[in-house]
A and B are shown apart, each in its own frame.
Chain A
Amino acid sequence: DGGITQSPKYLFRKEGQNVTLSCEQNLNHDAMYWYRQDPGQGLRLIYYSQIVNDFQKGDIAEGYSVSREKKESFPLTVTSAQKNPTAFYLCASCTRDTSGNTIYFGEGSWLTVV
């Protein structure tokens, strides 16, 4: 079955450490996205990528980095520069066309800084 897979689901990090969240899709989607969600709040865009080897900053990119070396993979690194990294992180993908595009989400990753 086609879908989008995020891992790990739960992650604990010590302050000062970098951590990388994985996002893989086998839907042949061009566009991929990373969002952050804080308790009681909506989704905020961190980074997005339209094609391989290209990505753009979203609204809250500071303290994060991404890569898009393969179409199916869009890992997110939460660096030690991110001041408040504890949050729910969602990866999404969709087709870059005009015909009934549907957004697919991963199940999310809960990151807690201890």
Chain B
Amino acid sequence: RKEVEQDPGPFNVPEGATVAFNCTYSNSASQSFFWYRQDCRKEPKLLMSVYSSGNEDGRFTAQLNRASQYISLLIRDSKLSDSATYLCVVNLMDSSYKLIFGSGTRLLVRP
């Protein structure tokens, strides 16, 4: 089983739609969680950190469920510019301090 798993998609949605991605992780030592956005042929860029209480930034909402070991990203009112790959990242805070990436979920927003 992969340490971090994401549905690769693609999720093909019309502008204005609401779309949600999930990411599951297997290591309970995972302590920090992030969503990154990656555009084609570019480095990933931080979209938002994920906190236990859940957090919102404009049209984006991130949630963490430690009991079920998954994090989610909700995008409301999708824009064409949201088309990208969304990477889930978990940070083990044990002695290894590894950053583990999911393989990414592709989102395509169509007019």
A binding-site residues for B, Cβ under 8 Å: 31, 33, 35, 41-45, 48, 50, 56, 58, 88, 90, 92, 94, 96, 98, 100-103, 105-108
Contact = CB atoms under 8 A, between A and B. Distances in A.
Interface of B: 6, 31-32, 34, 36, 41-46, 49, 87, 89, 91, 93, 96-104
A58 B98 CA distance: 9
Contact of A90 (B32, B43, B89, B91): B43
- In the complex, which of the residues A44, A50, A94, A105 has the most CB atoms of chain B within 10 Å of its own CB atom? A105
A105 B42 CA distance: 10
Nearest to A107: B43
B43 A108 contact: yes
Nearest to A101: B32
A56 B96 contact: yes
Contact of A103 (B41, B89, B96, B103): B89
20 contacts: A31-B97, A31-B99, A35-B101, A41-B104, A42-B102, A42-B103, A42-B104, A43-B44, A88-B41, A92-B99, A94-B99, A98-B31, A98-B32, A98-B93, A101-B32, A101-B91, A102-B46, A103-B89, A103-B99, A108-B43
Contacts of B103: 41-42
A39 to B, nearest CB: 10
Contacts of A56: 96
Given A90-B44, A101-B32, 8 more contacts: A35-B101, A42-B103, A43-B87, A44-B101, A48-B98, A94-B91, A106-B43, A108-B43
Nearest to A31: B97
Contacts of B87: 42-43
Contacts of A58: 98
A32 to B, nearest CB: 10
A50 B14 CA distance: 43
Nearest to B31: A98
Contacts of B42: 107-108
A105 B44 contact: yes
